[in-house]
């Protein structure tokens, strides 16, 4: 009796052939994380081991999304997603890159805004191109929806950081040392007039001077900076996406955007009317 090929193995082999770079990045990063997981377990650092285990699960997210939503994620975008997870959790959290490199968090939030806008853009664009739907969306609306999707993801993530800090006393919303505050709490007349304290050099807590050289802001500046750079990433892709839809994939913008827009699997792509085939 002839042995039947195993579906999962056949799918894996096909994926390696069609996306060799993605598979290579996936294997290298996964081996690094598995090695760190083993070291952390031996050293008894179970919190770091948990983070490594979480990263291994997150590495499966792109392929899981592809199977469940029946879409194809471009190789460039999938590689960036894998590197983003590694940079955020392994390098950022375990490697303390957030503290060693001040702009590490900013870079990740810009990337997050860009990628989320691309994903939101693709969802709306696929719906707009489906001939079974009774409406078509303008390029501006598609770009606006992508922008709103990205900003919503960014806001929800900040909610998560705030919740972790409040419930588990973490410090995901990193503190910022500032030298000027403006507050109505110190207004002696209680007339809602802001009192400005400038050139703050020292702060004392419970009789002990912190030695920070300024006032310690507990998360507001970090949160607003994260949302601002998320906004920048979302705007950049939304503008590029607008041009892409306007030109319907032609020109330099089309070649660039196709690296970041997930599309329906070929068997699910809507038929293109003959008169629009050349558009």
2 in a structural domain = no
pLDDT at position 48: 94
pLDDT tens digits, 84-124: 999 999 999 999 999 899 899 999 999 999 999 999 998 88
Residue where the block lists tokens 């460039």:
76
pLDDT at position 5: 44
pLDDT at position 273: 46
Query: Which residue spans within the chain are E strands per DSSP?
Result: 71-72, 176-178, 181-183, 195-197, 204-205, 208-209, 215-217, 263-264
Residues 141 and 244 in one domain: yes
Residues 171 and 181 in one domain: no
40 has pLDDT over 70: yes
Average pLDDT of the residues in 165-189: 91
Most confident region among 25-29, 239-243, 270-274 by mean pLDDT: 25-29
3 in a structural domain = no
Range(s) of the domain holding residue 185: 177-217
Residues 165 and 183 in one domain: no
Residues 268 and 170 in one domain: yes
Residues 136 and 146 in one domain: yes
pLDDT at position 256: 84
Residues 91 and 157 in one domain: no
pLDDT at position 190: 87
From the list 53, 17, 48, 18, the residue with the least C-alpha distance to 34 is 53
Residues 80 and 59 in one domain: yes
> Phi/psi class of residue 22: alpha, beta or left (left: φ > 0; alpha: ψ in -120 to 50)?
alpha
Residues 184 and 117 in one domain: no
Residues 97 and 110 in one domain: no
How many independent structural domains does the chain possess? 3
Residues 194 and 278 in one domain: no
Domain-ending residue, one of 167, 200, 217: 217
2 has pLDDT over 60: no
232 has pLDDT over 70: yes
Give the chain's mean pLDDT: 85
Residues 182 and 69 in one domain: no
Kindly calculate the radius of gyration of the chain based on its CA atoms and give it in whole angstroms. 24
pLDDT at position 278: 39
9 has pLDDT over 90: no
pLDDT tens digits, 61-88: 998 888 887 888 899 999 999 999 999 9
pLDDT at position 129: 65
Provide the 10 A C-beta neighbour count for residue 80.
19
Distance, CA of 277 to CA of 230 (rounded, Å): 36
266 has pLDDT over 80: no
> Phi/psi class of residue 174: alpha, beta or left (left: φ > 0; alpha: ψ in -120 to 50)?
beta
Residues 113 and 85 in one domain: no
Angle at 15 between CA 13 and CA 20, to 5 degrees: 100
pLDDT at position 274: 41
Distance, CA of 146 to CA of 128 (rounded, Å): 13
Distance, CA of 129 to CA of 117 (rounded, Å): 18
Per-position DSSP letters for 207-245, written without gaps between them: TEE--SSSEEE-SHHHHHHHHHHHHHHHHHHHHHHHHHH
């Amino acid at each position: 009796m002839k042995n039947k090929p195993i579906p999962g193995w056949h799918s894996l082999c096909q994926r390696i052939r069609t996306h060799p770079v993605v598979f290579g990045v996936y294997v290298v990063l996964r081996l690094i994380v598995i090695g760190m997981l083993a070291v952390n377990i031996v050293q008894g650092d179970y919190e770091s081991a948990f983070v490594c285990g979480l990263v291994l699960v997150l590495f499966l997210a792109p392929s899981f999304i592809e199977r469940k939503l029946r879409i194809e994620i471009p190789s460039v975008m999938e590689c960036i997603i894998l590197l983003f997870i590694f940079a955020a959790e392994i390098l950022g959290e375990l490697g303390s890159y957030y503290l060693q490199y001040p702009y590490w968090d900013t870079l990740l939030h810009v990337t997050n805004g860009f990628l989320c806008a691309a994903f939101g853009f693709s969802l709306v664009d696929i719906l707009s191109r489906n001939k079974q739907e009774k409406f078509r969306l303008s390029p501006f609306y598609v770009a606006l929806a992508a922008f709103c999707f990205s900003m919503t993801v960014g806001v929800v993530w900040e909610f998560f950081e705030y919740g972790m800090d409040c419930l588990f006393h973490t410090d995901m919303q990193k503190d910022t040392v500032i030298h000027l505050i403006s507050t109505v709490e110190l207004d002696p007349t209680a007339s809602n007039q802001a009192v400005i304290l400038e050139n703050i050099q020292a702060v004392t807590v419970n009789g002990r001077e912190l030695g920070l050289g300024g006032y310690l802001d507990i998360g507001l500046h970090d949160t607003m900076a994260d949302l601002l750079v998320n906004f920048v990433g979302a705007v950049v892709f939304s503008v590029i996406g607008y041009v892409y839809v306007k030109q319907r994939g032609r020109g330099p913008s089309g070649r660039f955007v196709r690296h970041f827009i997930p599309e329906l699997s070929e068997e699910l792509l809507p038929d293109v009317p003959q008169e629009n085939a050349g558009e």
